[in-house]
Amino acid sequence: MIILGVDPGLTRCGVGVIEAGAHRRLSFIHVDVVRSSPDMSQDLRLLAIYNGLVAKIERFAPDAVSIERVFAQSNRNTVLGTAQAAGLAMLAAAQRTIPVALHTPTEAKLAITGNGQAQKVQVERMVTRILGLNTMPTPADAADALALAICHALRPAGALQGGEREQHLTAAQRQWAQAAQHATRRRGADRGM
């Protein structure tokens, strides 16, 4: 399975591509950033990001696209640009009927390091180690995109719904599944469900 990870951003949109093989063996394929210049108008910046994402999707033909779920930040302009870039990634995938998964930064950190509060450098080191790279991917947006792709590959789908599946998970994957289940319950409570 080819997974394309996207760390959305308006200036730098990280793109990482991995292959998830048998026995959760992960292989590095590609990492890059799609850029747009802050000197351009907003519409042209969005077009540049969209075109770059489409080119990556067409080049690597992923089976799934894993995108960082946008969360509220103190800088409104940053969160708006990030949300717009995430939307473009979802659109580009949907137009090609490629399944999309959204993962929070905490989920990615937990899947990669076993600690949802891990520092960026810890995540970068683990991405490097998991994929057998000689050097850490740069810039950080690129490493984050690979982390999102790895997170999707390691997700414990249905892990807590059946005891047999849970037995085959690592401690980090069990912890991540529990955190994801807790977040789902909390979102439901926030919506009054």
Of 68, 107, 124, 144, which residue is the catalytic one? 68
Pair 24, 66 in one domain: yes
Pair 116, 193 in one domain: no
Of 107, 141, 144, 164, which residue is the catalytic one? 141
Pair 19, 73 in one domain: yes
Pair 163, 175 in one domain: yes
Q: Please tell me whether 68 is known to bind a ligand.
A: yes
Q: How far apart are CA 6 and CA 103, in angstroms?
A: 10
The reported pLDDT for the residue numbered 174 is 56
The reply to whether 166 belongs to the active site is no
Pair 30, 96 in one domain: yes
Pair 7, 87 in one domain: yes
Pair 122, 140 in one domain: yes
Pair 168, 132 in one domain: no
Pairing status of strand 64-68 against strand 26-35:
unpaired
Q: How far apart are CA 24 and CA 64, in angstroms?
A: 15
The reply to whether 141 belongs to the active site is yes
The 3-state DSSP class for residue 115 equals coil
Structural domain for 182, as ranges: 158-193
Pair 16, 98 in one domain: yes
Q: Which residue has the tokens 């930040």?
A: 73
Of 7, 107, 124, 144, which residue is the catalytic one? 7
Closest CA to 34 of 21, 18, 17, 48: 48
Q: Please tell me whether 32 is known to bind a ligand.
A: no
Tens of pLDDT along the chain (193 residues) come to 999 999 999 999 999 999 998 887 999 999 999 999 999 999 999 999 999 999 999 999 999 999 999 876 666 767 888 999 999 999 999 999 999 999 999 999 999 998 888 898 999 999 999 999 999 998 889 999 999 999 999 886 543 333 334 444 455 555 555 665 665 566 555 555 4
The reply to whether 7 belongs to the active site is yes
Cβ–Cβ < 8 Å for 26, 5? no
Q: Please tell me whether 141 is known to bind a ligand.
A: yes
